[in-house]
Amino acid sequence: MWAAGRGDHNATLRILAMLEADIERLSRFMRMPREEARQALTLELLELIRSRSGADAPSGQSGRCAETGAAYGSSINLG
């Protein structure tokens, strides 16, 4: 992923190809036309890749959700 963040076009294409099935599956759950959902997910992924700028994640940022900053796997208290 770091090569893609540095602008390596081939690395970016490999990541997109690798995640294509996941993007397709997730687009089914979005309340918008499927093609728009795929495009939105792809754009978010590209922005995430580019935001990394090829640098390692800053201390305390690895394993965190890009959008909310919430740690993955954290328990959610709905009560």
pLDDT at position 8: 75
Each of the 79 residues of the chain gets a pLDDT tens digit; together they read 556 656 678 888 999 999 999 999 999 999 999 999 999 999 999 998 888 765 554 444 444 455 444 443 334 434 3
**What are the residues whose beta carbons fall under 8 Å from the beta carbon of 6, sequence distance 6 or more?**
53, 54
State the alpha helices, DSSP H only, in 1-79. 2-5, 9-27, 34-51
